[in-house]
């Protein structure tokens, strides 16, 4: 199960098995979407499978995730989503109104994200074999002009930009499962981050080095992957990382770290220091980008790791998530 | 966030850290043991060691209930879960702890019905929702969690609920501290006393430590300011040659403990004559079993439990780390054979285990400091 949770085990599975057998000896870093040329035209492609329990939750549903997730994977690779293909894996006996609600949600979300759904496939499996419904989306995008995402271009002194509060989606899902005896006024942050990525690229494209949407495994996992890929350290300031009180409270109670919690509507960017102010100003001006801020910088040390400093002078290493986040007792 | 931010206030933290620096005798080495795993976790999470002078050494104690559980007990519990009619419920902490044939999470992936619950009453709720199945709650913890297990069993009995039982692994804190103090290779100056256990047992049970061992103990909260203030209180005692029990965590811990909780424990549980602790061996009168009056809700009395005993891998030095004799990174397996992904001992699993805390928050930092300040 840990191999699907987005942390270390997932990465080992991809790097140890999938990449060498499927991608051949290509030495490119693993990113959210692949960029390549067809007859001279640059395109980006990505695919993602969506499994979530429950299917709908405050702020969204699996249909919305399936559109936004793929749009976002393209966006943080530096591409604008143009078209999606969808596969539904449905359980026998799934009520038709549940299916219809998700199809409608996908249509509305795709409309909002300005992306066309151009094809798809449906499979039905036995009852109890697919958590009611799985959705896979594959997205094709066109590169955003002037944006080149490459972990190797990251330099010490670059700034770490975060688009908004972390942990909303993961904690919302945890609460929506109804296994916890507490409630919070919290919604999933699922949304397309493409408008924000475009605003950022207009203002700071030449200084934009790297982006990632911190979904499973959270901000901690994304930044650890960056640290490993670029061979530098990531130093964060704890007090500058936006976390809603409800998320902090739930994490305190459950012994979880907000930096390990999944997000579905945020992204991280590494921006050259001289472009950092322009980047933040542009994001803050864009609708939904108001909470964006600089949360740290790239340092020479600790090479390959993420270090977080507290406001009173302490510090700790933040590792990738191992498996799913599990709550503590005492 | 209320009740949290006040205890992390940067300026107060800085001032308290300064006070600690003023109070330490530079010619003396201080060895303070934090008994509780929650404190170990807090020390690393908040990076408190960065704030302390180098001659204050924090020794991690045995107060992580997951870590002290011998592997055989996990296998015993999971043996019950083999029955397809059984729902095996446990706290999240337990889920990655390795048994001889894998952790509860791995058993779940193989198709066993293993559920994470957040309290024993959630396990009871599962039993009510699944009247055709039997729910076994794998109970762990010190006196912190034992009362809620007891109250849940009292509720099950009152409701006449027959499809619920508890596999009891509750242990008690005082015998563990005694075992540490009896260990010949252990030299300690003072104790940071466990906070949450003390909400139940109060502060009185620690008085023998100050009387017989003449070592100060301060029962402490878990926020950065709590822990630093407790260290200030210990340093005052040490400087004055005193040994008292003091209560820093007054906002939560009553001096006399929680009588209602203690009564519930006594109603349902009695002391086992002895119990095996990982790393510490058999300790007499150190754990709880279910009383015969609650036999119907005691998984050990209701089912055949194999009574597995598994010895830890020879190279693992969990015992020495649990007793504070070795630091996590001094174990031969640390960071090599034993990592959070492939834990050999439970100390590497639980977020309260000192090895996991050290691995996650500290050890690459230590490597970095070595790079930055090469020893001449």
Inside any domain, residue A329: no
Confidence tier at B145 by pLDDT (50, 70, 90): very high
Residues of A in contact with B369 (CB under 8 A): none
The C-alpha of A284 sits at a distance from chain B's nearest C-alpha, in angstroms, of: 25
- Which of the two residues, A181 and A271, has the higher pLDDT score? A271
CATH number, span B1-316: 3.40.50.11740
CA distance B185 to B317: 15
**Dihedral, CA atoms, B277, B279, B280, B283, nearest 10 degrees?**
20
Domain end call among A119, A143, A167: A143
- Banded model confidence at residue A290, pLDDT cuts 50, 70, 90: very high
Per-residue pLDDT band for B371 (boundaries 50, 70, 90) equals: very low
Chain B contact for A37, CB < 8 A? no
pLDDT of residue B372: 42
CA-closest candidate to residue B123, choices B85, B154, B87, B69: B87
8 Å CB contact between B362 and B44: yes
Chain B residues in contact with A9 (beta carbon < 8 A): 341
Q: Return the DSSP state at A311.
A: T
A330 within a domain of the structure (yes/no): no
- Quote the pLDDT of residue A26: 60
When divided into structural domains, chain A yields a total of: 2
pLDDT for res B67: 86
Across chain A, mean pLDDT equals 90
Q: Is the pLDDT of residue B143 over 80?
A: yes
Residue A222 within any structural domain of the chain: yes
Whether A304 and A172 map to the same domain: the answer is yes
- The torsion angles phi and psi of A122, rounded to 5 degrees, stand at -130, 135
Domain that includes residue A96, residue range:
35-143
**Band of the pLDDT at A6, cuts 50, 70, 90?**
low
**Is A230 within the bounds of a domain?**
yes
Q: What is the pLDDT of residues A198-252, one digit of tens each?
A: 999 999 999 999 999 999 899 999 999 999 999 999 999 999 999 999 999 889 8
Q: What is the ipTM of this complex?
A: 0.72
Q: CA A189, A192, A195, A200 torsion: positive or negative? A: positive
Q: What is d(CA A67, CA B314) in angstroms, rounded to the nearest whole number? A: 52
CB contact under 8 A, B92 and A249: no
B196–A330 C-beta distance less than 8 A: yes
For residues A149 and B103, what is the distance between their CA atoms, to the nearest angstrom?
A: 40
Q: pLDDT by residue (tens digit) across A81-132?
A: 999 999 999 999 999 999 999 999 999 999 999 999 999 999 999 998 888 9
> Is A53 part of a structural domain of the chain?
yes
Give me the helix-helix angle, A194-204 and A273-285, nearest 10°: 140
* Same domain for A169 and A45: no
Q: Which residue of B has its CA nearest to A317?
A: B361
Summary mean pLDDT of chain B: 89
Of A169, A213, A219, A185, the closest CA to residue A52 belongs to A169
pLDDT of B364 above 70: no
Given this model, what pLDDT does residue B196 score? 92
- Cα of B230 to nearest chain A Cα, Å: 17
Helix boundaries (H) for A141-244: 168-176, 194-204, 218-230
Q: Are residues A127 and A213 in the same domain?
A: no
Is A242 within 8 Å of chain B by CB? Answer: no
Q: Which of A255, A248, A256, A260 shows the shortest CA–CA distance to A329?
A: A255
pTM to 2 decimals? 0.83
Q: Are A184 and A293 in contact (CB under 8 A)?
A: no
Q: Is residue A138 part of a domain?
A: yes
């Amino acid at each position: 199960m840990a191999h699907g949770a987005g942390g270390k085990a997932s990465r080992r599975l991809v790097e140890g098995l999938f990449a060498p057998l499927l991608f051949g000896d290509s030495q490119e870093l693993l990113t959210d979407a692949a960029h390549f040329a067809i007859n001279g035209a640059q395109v980006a492609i990505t695919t993602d499978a969506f499994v979530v329990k429950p299917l709908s939750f405050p702020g969204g549903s699996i249909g919305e995730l399936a559109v936004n997730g793929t749009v976002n994977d393209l966006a943080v690779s530096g591409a604008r989503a143009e078209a999606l293909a969808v596969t539904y894996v449905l359980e026998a006996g799934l009520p038709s109104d549940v299916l219809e609600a998700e199809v409608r949600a996908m249509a509305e979300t795709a409309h909002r994200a300005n992306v066309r759904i151009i094809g798809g496939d449906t499979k039905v499996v036995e009852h109890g074999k697919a958590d009611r419904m799985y959705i896979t989306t594959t997205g094709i995008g066109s590169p955003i002009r002037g944006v080149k995402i490459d972990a190797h271009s990251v330099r010490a002194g670059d700034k770490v930009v975060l688009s908004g509060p972390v942990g909303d989606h993961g904690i919302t899902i945890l609460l929506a499962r109804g296994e916890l005896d507490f409630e919070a006024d919290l919604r999933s942050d699922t949304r397309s981050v493409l408008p924000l990525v475009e605003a950022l690229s207009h203002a700071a494209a030449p200084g934009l080095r790297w982006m990632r949407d911190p979904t499973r495994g959270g901000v901690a996992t994304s930044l650890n992957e960056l640290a490993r890929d670029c061979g530098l350290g990531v130093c964060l300031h704890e007090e500058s990382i936006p976390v809603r009180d409800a998320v902090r409270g739930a994490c305190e109670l459950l012994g979880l770290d907000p930096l390990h919690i999944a997000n579905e509507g945020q992204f991280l960017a590494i921006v050259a220091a001289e472009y950092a102010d322009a980047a933040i100003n542009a994001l803050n001006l864009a609708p939904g980008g108001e909470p964006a801020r600089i949360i740290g910088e790239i340092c020479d040390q600790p090479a390959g790791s993420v270090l977080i400093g507290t406001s009173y002078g302490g510090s700790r290493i933040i590792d990738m998530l191992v498996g799913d986040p599990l709550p503590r007792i005492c | 966030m209320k009740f949290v931010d006040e205890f992390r206030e940067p300026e107060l933290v800085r001032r308290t850290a300064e006070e600690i620096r003023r109070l330490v005798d530079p010619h003396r080495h201080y060895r303070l043991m934090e008994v509780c795993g929650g404190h170990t976790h807090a020390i690393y999470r908040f990076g408190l060691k960065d704030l302390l002078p180098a001659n204050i050494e924090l020794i991690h104690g045995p107060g992580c209930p997951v870590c002290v559980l011998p592997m055989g007990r996990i296998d015993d519990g999971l043996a019950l879960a083999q029955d397809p009619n059984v729902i095996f419920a446990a706290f999240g902490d337990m889920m990655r702890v390795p048994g001889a044939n894998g952790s509860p999470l791995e058993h779940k992936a193989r198709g066993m019905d293993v559920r994470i619950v957040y309290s024993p009453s959630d396990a009871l709720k599962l039993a009510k929702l699944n009247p055709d199945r039997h729910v076994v709650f794998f109970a762990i913890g010190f006196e912190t969690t034992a009362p809620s297990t007891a109250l849940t069993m009292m509720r099950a009995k009152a409701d006449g609920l027959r499809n619920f039982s508890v596999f009891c692994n509750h242990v008690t804190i005082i015998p563990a501290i005694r075992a540490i103090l009896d260990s010949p290779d252990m030299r300690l100056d003072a104790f940071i006393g466990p906070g949450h256990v003390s909400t139940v047992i109060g502060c009185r049970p620690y008085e023998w430590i100050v009387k017989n061992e003449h070592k100060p103990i301060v029962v402490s909260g878990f926020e950065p300011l709590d822990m630093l203030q407790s260290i200030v209180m210990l340093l005052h005692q040490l400087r004055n040659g005193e040994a008292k029990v003091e209560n820093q965590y007054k906002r939560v811990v009553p001096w006399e403990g929680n009588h209602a909780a203690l009564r519930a424990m006594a109603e349902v549980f009695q002391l086992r004559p002895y119990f095996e602790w990982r790393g510490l061996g058999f300790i007499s009168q150190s754990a709880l079993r279910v009383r015969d009056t609650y036999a119907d809700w005691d998984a050990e009395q209701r089912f055949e439990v194999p009574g597995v005993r598994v010895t830890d891998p020879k190279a693992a030095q969990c015992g020495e780390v649990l007793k504070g004799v070795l630091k996590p990174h001094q174990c031969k397996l640390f960071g090599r054979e034993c990592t959070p992904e492939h834990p050999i001992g439970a100390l590497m699993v639980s977020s309260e285990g000192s090895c996991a805390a050290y691995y996650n928050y500290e050890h690459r930092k230590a490597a970095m400091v070595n790079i930055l300040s090469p020893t001449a």
